[in-house]
Amino acid sequence: MSEILLSVRGLSTHFLTQGGVVRAVDDVSFDIRRGETFALLGESGCGKSMTSLSIMRLVPEPAGRIVAGEIHLDGQNLMDLPEAGMRRIRGNRIAMIFQEPMTSLNPVLTIGEQIAETVRQHRRLDGAAARGVVLDLLDAVGIPDPRQRYGEYPHQLSGGMKQRVMIAIALAGEPDLLIADEPTTALDVTIQAQVLALLGDLQKQTGMAVLLITHDLGVVAGMADSVAVMYAGQIIERAGKEAFFRDPRHPYSRKLFDSLPDVGKRGHQLAVIHGAVPSLAREFKGCRFAERCDEAWDLCHEQAPRWYDQEGGRQVRCHLLDPTLAARRPASHAAPRDGTGQAQPCREHGQAPLLEVENIKVHFPIRKGLLKRTVGHVYAVDGVNLSIARGRTVALVGESGCGKTTIGKAILQLIRPSAGSVRFEGDELTRLRGEALRRRRSDFQIIFQDPFSSMNPRMMIDEIIQEGMVALGIEKDAAARRSRVEELLDHVGLPREARHRYPHEFSGGQRQRICIARTLAVRPKLIVCDEPTSALDISVQAQILNLLKQLQNELGLSYLFITHNLSVVGYLADEVAVMYLGRVVEYGTVQEVLEQPRHPYTQALLSAIPVIDQTTRREVIRLEGDLPSPSSPPSGCHFHTRCPHAMPVCSQRYPQSTALSDTHRAHCFLYGDEE
């Protein structure tokens, strides 16, 4: 047996659409060795998922078609196999897990049956023997109490558990190659750490190879042996992991690293890649990245670069690496168009708090029965204190379901808090009703996570941006409103012609800019940013973060930044509040929380984030289990069920706030309880 397990040569997959031929995968070649983890890295829409579907020969026909290329698995060309032969390969030799564990499982079959189905198919086992194998598999993927879980249905499991079941199904056929398509993107960081560790362990035990498809540089750094970077349907750089992370060669790879936000880049502008990923429906003449590349010159637009072999078997597709061509490059292009220029230092504003939130609670009643009696509550937010000064950014961090979005909405009075007070410039918002509240609404605004659903698809940009001004009576005069719209579009970096277009004509990043323009239209003092960049690609995320930072400097805005991405927090925030199950467990300045986390949950959260620089990697504190349900939170400290330092007292009462410094507070018995 040769060392190469899978060899892809010149693979091209095209899609026929109304807009013409989309070259989703265009002349892609790579090799995967036995037992290695090969990462395919790229932004959304670059063709990485289509590459994996092509390998499985699962391209949705007849719209899509593999037009060229060979795929050799152990020397056998999969393209020559009939469909029946391919069915023996799928599951047996190559298995696949998908991004969305929620929709990959059949909701009406128990998970045991779903795994057993694959076992029966591939190992020709039946009855008790199959059941035994299934139980072993469930055990292998770390699902506690397999006998109990065998008869449960997918809806009874959490997201992380479902992904484990998916992995168990994939393993049932004892594949040589596992294709993992964004296996952890839909999961929280602590769960992501569990699943990635599981994949690593299983790989060691079974010796299978993994084709890992992801957009997350951190995941690649933690898992991969070799890396291929994909851009616009092509692979543009191939390298071993160490070499790649030490010294990315292609300008696109380098920019990707530069545009990642982190603490070290505070106060600086992030490097951005201009524009967006090009449409794959067009013909490319030169280098596909040329339009967005700072180092491109005439040649790049005219001639597509070939592969240039570098030391250590790495290959890069860029003219810069050809010494004869690079020498002919005009000198004026040497300087980047705009790089990591120093941003204006953040102006310090008066410390008078703009917003003060005290002991805010949001409880949603659970109603049951004919008369809709309240039988319990979901304690979405359960006593949170926050304060935001003018011109400052407070980040609210936590896993999904911890109530951070609910707080944002409760502050804006989009959801009425059940108890507590929200004071904005001294006014108690919870007591304002009707017209009085409407008048204040221009002061606090919100930017949503999903730029696709946050604008009415039936309204033009002009109307969308004017809506707030009209509703709040900011500009009474129509002409003044129009000129203000143009001013705002200039401000967020969009052309003025955008006014007369509809939201669907814009890309995700542009839409987020429009959303920002819309909130700015009413001249707010505070903006709640609810995961504004998590639906965007890395390169676009940097553009939006830069814009938010610039607006803060110019307009003195305050942000409540809700996110699960701690590197964004490090880059943008001044203070951080870490939330767990409806309560803030730790609060402090960015330096304090990110560098000296004290609460065990914060520590675990920080350690679970995949980091690029492997030398600074902390030891991962593996959290067991999932987030408990907010309708029946654990007694005492909510975290004690998963805490590695849990003490008897933790399950009895909730720890009071402990001041660790003037600005740093934590709720944990490890640091004493001041009452």
Which residues here bind other proteins, judged by CB under 8 A?
17-18, 409, 412, 414, 437-439, 441-442, 445-446, 448-450, 453-459, 467-468, 471-472, 502, 515, 518, 522
* Main-chain dihedrals φ then ψ at residue 669, nearest 5 degrees: -70, -15
Residues 264 and 280 sit within 8 Å (Cβ to Cβ): no
Measured from the CB of residue 47, what is the shortest distance to other proteins in angstroms?
16
Measured from the CB of residue 467, what is the shortest distance to other proteins in angstroms?
6
Three-state SS string across 580-625, please? ECCEEEEEEEHHHHHHCCCCHHHHHHHHHCCCCCHHHCCCCCCCCC
DSSP letter at 388? E
* Main-chain dihedrals φ then ψ at residue 66, nearest 5 degrees: -80, 115
Coil, helix or strand at residue 642? coil
Measured from the CB of residue 431, what is the shortest distance to other proteins in angstroms?
17
Measured from the CB of residue 414, what is the shortest distance to other proteins in angstroms?
6
Q: Which is nearer to other proteins, 334 or 366 (CB)?
A: 366
Q: Which is nearer to other proteins, 181 or 530 (CB)?
A: 530
Q: Which is nearer to other proteins, 63 or 647 (CB)?
A: 63
Assign residue 307 a region: left if phi > 0, alpha if psi is -120 to 50, beta otherwise?
Answer: beta
Measured from the CB of residue 500, what is the shortest distance to other proteins in angstroms?
10
Measured from the CB of residue 411, what is the shortest distance to other proteins in angstroms?
11
Measured from the CB of residue 96, what is the shortest distance to other proteins in angstroms?
23
Q: Which is nearer to other proteins, 246 or 458 (CB)?
A: 458
Measured from the CB of residue 156, what is the shortest distance to other proteins in angstroms?
24
Altogether, the residues listed in the chain come to a count of: 675
Q: Which is nearer to other proteins, 159 or 503 (CB)?
A: 503
Q: Which is nearer to other proteins, 269 or 445 (CB)?
A: 445
Q: Which is nearer to other proteins, 295 or 531 (CB)?
A: 531
Query: Which residue in 148, 169, 160 sits closest to 106, CA to CA?
Result: 169
Query: Which residue in 271, 293, 253, 215 sits closest to 43, CA to CA?
Result: 215
**Which tokens belong to 649?**
């007292």
What is the number of helices (H) and of strands (E) in the chain? 22, 24
Measured from the CB of residue 415, what is the shortest distance to other proteins in angstroms?
10
CA dihedral for 629, 634, 639, 644, sign (positive or negative)? negative
Measured from the CB of residue 15, what is the shortest distance to other proteins in angstroms?
11
- β-strand pairing of 315-316 with 234-240: antiparallel
Measured from the CB of residue 242, what is the shortest distance to other proteins in angstroms?
40
Query: Which residue in 669, 673, 667, 448 sits closest to 578, CA to CA?
Result: 667
Residues 572 and 79 sit within 8 Å (Cβ to Cβ): no
CA dihedral for 163, 164, 166, 171, sign (positive or negative)? positive
How large is the C-alpha radius of gyration of the chain? 27
Q: Which is nearer to other proteins, 150 or 448 (CB)?
A: 448
Query: Which residue in 236, 184, 186, 177 sits closest to 40, CA to CA?
Result: 236
Q: Which is nearer to other proteins, 15 or 38 (CB)?
A: 15
Q: Which is nearer to other proteins, 325 or 437 (CB)?
A: 437
Q: Which is nearer to other proteins, 518 or 599 (CB)?
A: 518
Q: Which is nearer to other proteins, 349 or 439 (CB)?
A: 439
Measured from the CB of residue 152, what is the shortest distance to other proteins in angstroms?
28
Q: Which helix (H) or strand (E) holds 560?
A: strand 558-563
Q: Which is nearer to other proteins, 468 or 597 (CB)?
A: 468
Residue 368, classified by CB atoms within 10 Å of its CB into exposed (0-12), middle (13-18) or buried (19+), is exposed
Measured from the CB of residue 456, what is the shortest distance to other proteins in angstroms?
5
Q: Which is nearer to other proteins, 266 or 441 (CB)?
A: 441
> What distances in angstroms separate CA 392 from CA 348, 350, 603, one per listed residue?
8, 10, 25
* Sheet strands side by side (includes 444-447): 444-447, 526-530, 558-563, 393-397, 575-580, 583-589, 665-666, 658-659
Measured from the CB of residue 19, what is the shortest distance to other proteins in angstroms?
11
Query: Which residue in 316, 218, 219 sits closest to 260, CA to CA?
Result: 218
**Which tokens belong to 377?**
């509550």
Q: How far apart are CA 431 and CA 423, in angstroms?
A: 10
Q: Which residues of 576-595 are buried (b: 16+ CB within 10 A; e: fewer)?
A: bbbbbbbbbbbbbbbebbbe
